[in-house]
Amino acid sequence: MQHSPENSSATGAAQAPRGTLGEDWRDEDLVLGRFRFRSRLLVGTGKYASLEESDQALAASGSECVTVALRRIDLHAPPPPGGSLLERLRRGGYTILPNTAGCYSAVEAIRTSVLAREILGTELVKLEVLGDPRTLLPDPVETLVATKELVAQGFCVLVYASDDPILAKRLEQAGATSVMPAGSPIGSGQGILNPNNLRIILESVQVPVIVDAGLGTASDVAFAMELGASGVLLNSAIAGARQPVLMARAMRLACEAGRQAFVAGRIPKRLHASASSPLDGVSPSSTSSGSRA
């Protein structure tokens, strides 16, 4: 499967012989349709105190692909000094990933996606079809319906979904470019509540799995990447931090560290201790005295 270090072309260097990777290791790109990204961290553009703060945080994150909720942008308002959000993102060279945030039906999400393609000239879309305004959990039925229709219309669909492995497989079969299971509810900062479900999804689908929603700090990002996720998408964890720019940098480093740890391969967990120094040639009296050398 794609996300297993033993047999995955996605991990690339993970298949290299033991001990051959080091400072010169270069990760493979994250491939989403015809788009390729060096950074595996995707970030949102909402909730910042100002456009200037957004600019600084996006730059610190190292992200190359950023999400924009088209329904929340007033396209008729006069641009502020320094340009509108879309103008700033274009100047920064970012790939814009429009999302259908705020949509509660397949029909609404499809209409928003078509409008985004007309305005931005991109087939990329992050599909969100919510089922409840209080929990902001995705509607699995409407999400699957919208995925099938958008794929038929030529969209490159990155699908926000629950962490249901069966739904993830159905979305892949429907033609989704990426499945994006939530770590926990949107904006909750609870991290990954069900890593076992995420592991099953990673074993079950071949398309990139990008963990989306609910991550709160750098350790959550590192954990997602250590599990084998192809990438992470977040917004609130950066924009809502006391120091958003510093948190954006922390998220970038965590994403890189988690990815490298996954490729490097962690040691197995053991119940009992395992000496870090070889015991060959050590006298019996030394080994029986409880030495931890």
CB of 120 within 8 A of CB of 100?
Answer: no
User: How far is the C-alpha of 240 from the C-alpha of 250, rounded, in Å?
Assistant: 14
User: How far is the C-alpha of 82 from the C-alpha of 290, rounded, in Å?
Assistant: 67
148 is catalytic: no
The number of residues in the chain equals 293
| Tokens (6 digits) for 152 | 């038929």
23 secondary structure, DSSP code: T
For 83, phi then psi, to 5°, come to 100, 160
Q: For the CA atoms of 5, 9, 13, 15, what is the dihedral angle to 10 degrees?
A: 60
- Count of helices and strands (H, E) across the chain: 10, 10
Tokens 């076992």 appear where?
A: 196
Residue type, 175: G
What Cα–Cα distance (Å) separates residue 19 from each residue in 15, 74, 228, 265? 11, 54, 20, 11
Neighbours of 158 (CB within 10 A): 29
| Tokens (6 digits) for 91 | 């100047």
- Residue 77 half-sphere exposure toward CB, CA atoms < 13 A: 10
Of 126, 148, 169, 269, which residue is the catalytic one? 126
| Tokens (6 digits) for 16 | 């290299």
Point out the residues that are catalytic.
126
